[in-house]
Structure 1
Amino acid sequence: MARGKRVASVGHFTSVVRHIASVAASLSIIDDHPQSGDYPAVVAEYLLPKMDLVFIIGSTLANKTLPRLLELCQGSFVVLVGPSTCMTPILFSYSVNCLGGTLYTDRAGCLSLVRQGLHGQMVHHGQKLSFEKGA
């Protein structure tokens, strides 16, 4: 799907870089804490309207930036992705085309990690899922 397309990722996902960069016409990564080669979040206003495919980190729903990002992505195929993605089909009504997240299956393991402050490792206690609009 990304082959020859202009792709952006709001949030730095190593897997997006690994799998998409080599096939996309361009890959722009936009992040609040940009790494080398990334763009700061303020450029989303200029870059996102030009994209064919956009990956958006699920935490943008919690931090209330998702509505504006979706406005900027009109005409793009939008994937809301990451372990914090809210896996509800209601998001398909708001210009999201695909949801990619995690179903946490090991409650005790997740709670143990939360108590240790190791939230980023919770993905190892669940199953990755994806749902596409109309699929």
Structure 2
Amino acid sequence: MRVRSQEIYNLLLKSSQTNVLIQEIIVGLTWTYCQAEGIGLCMSPGQANRTLPWSGTLVNTAIANIAPWLKSWDSYEATVAMAAINAVINPSSPLLASAQPIYPKGSANLAVFEHFLPLIRGKKVVTIGRYPGLSEYEQEVDMTVLERQPSNQDLPDTACEYLLPEADWVFLTATSIVNKTFPRLVELSQNAQLVLMGPTVPWLSDLADMGIDYLAGVAVANPEALRQTIAEGGGTRIFDRGVRYHILKL
């Protein structure tokens, strides 16, 4: 029996019940980084905030105490929580250990699309989120990009209600977990091959029961380079040395 996709939040909280302490949090321009016993990532909110009330207080806080922020409607709280949860789940995940690393010929941040290209040619593809450089693959594939802040190349995210049920393949950013759109987007994509992707991906087998067909997340390749790149405002640069995409069919 398929688990309701809303249960992702309870699943993540249950999977991160630990007294392990946060050693460091970096809220970078593009990525938020949590160092505990391992490293966890989440995409940072797109808007600046000068008045975060908890900044300067998170180090030496138990991850179990921060994880419930994932249910918060404050985007910064939810982002920090997701990075902390991933710092618990991902470093020791057997799924990540068995996933296939990708060695792309082209841009490392687009490695997932390069990997799936032979399967998605001739199919209706919907991608949630405008990935830098994605236009390279839009020329080869019947692809529609949905964006919350669309450019003239994209459709607004409200088009999901019409396009996702008709799609053959859907590439869903794991940031959808944090902004709370995950349950509805997954529900709408049940007729498609659904790929949950990005550095925010939590490597959990239970996602298969929610309708996810593939996980396309990252493994940390160089912790020092990753931390420095994020601290210096890096976005796609983390894929050059800091992390590498891995793919697993669930």
Q: How does 1:14-33 map to 2 (within 5 A)?
A: 14=132, 17-19=135-137, 21-22=139-140, 24=141, 26-33=142-149
Q: State the one-letter code of the partner of 1:37.
A: Q
Work out which of the residue numbers 129, 135, 149 in structure 2 matches 1:11: 129
Q: What corresponds to 1:59 in structure 2? A: 175
Q: State the one-letter code of the partner of 2:153.
A: G
* Greater RCO, CA 8 A, separation 6+: 2
Per the alignment, do residues 110 and 17 of structure 1 end up closer, same or farther by CA in structure 2, a change over 3 Å counting? same
Question: SS where residue 102 of structure 1 aligns?
Answer: strand
d(CA) in 2 for partners of 1:100, 1:2: 15
- Residue 78 of structure 1 deviates from its aligned partner by 0.3
Query: How many corresponding residue pairs?
Result: 131
Is the 8 Å Cα contact of residues 216 and 245 (structure 2) preserved in structure 1? Answer: yes
Q: What corresponds to 1:128 in structure 2? A: 245
Q: Unaligned stretches of 5+ in structure 2?
A: 1-118
Is the 8 Å Cα contact of residues 30 and 43 (structure 1) preserved in structure 2? Answer: yes
Q: State the one-letter code of the partner of 1:19.
A: Y
Deviates more, 1:36-45 or 1:120-129: 120-129
Work out which of the residue numbers 122, 142, 150 in structure 2 matches 1:34: 150
d(CA) in 2 for partners of 1:16, 1:132: 23
Kindly provide the CA deviation profile for residues 56-81 of structure 1, in whole angstroms up to 9, marking residues without a partner as x. 11211122211110001111110111
Kindly provide the CA deviation profile for residues 73-103 of structure 1, in whole angstroms up to 9, marking residues without a partner as x. 1111101112222222221111010111210
Per the alignment, do residues 16 and 95 of structure 1 end up closer, same or farther by CA in structure 2, a change over 3 Å counting? farther
Question: SS where residue 70 of structure 1 aligns?
Answer: helix
Q: How does 1:83-102 map to 2 (within 5 A)?
A: 83-102=199-218
Q: Percent identity?
A: 25
Root mean square deviation, CA, Å: 1.9
- Residue 36 of structure 1 deviates from its aligned partner by 2.2
TM (normalized to structure 2)?
Answer: 0.48
Is the 8 Å Cα contact of residues 217 and 247 (structure 2) preserved in structure 1? Answer: yes
Q: What corresponds to 2:164 in structure 1? A: 48
d(CA) in 2 for partners of 1:11, 1:71: 17
- Residue 14 of structure 1 deviates from its aligned partner by 4.7
Is the 8 Å Cα contact of residues 104 and 123 (structure 1) preserved in structure 2? Answer: no
Highest Rg: 1 or 2?
2
- Residue 16 of structure 1 deviates from its aligned partner by 5.2
Q: Unaligned stretches of 5+ in structure 1?
A: none
Kindly provide the CA deviation profile for residues 100-119 of structure 1, in whole angstroms up to 9, marking residues without a partner as x. 12101222222212322324
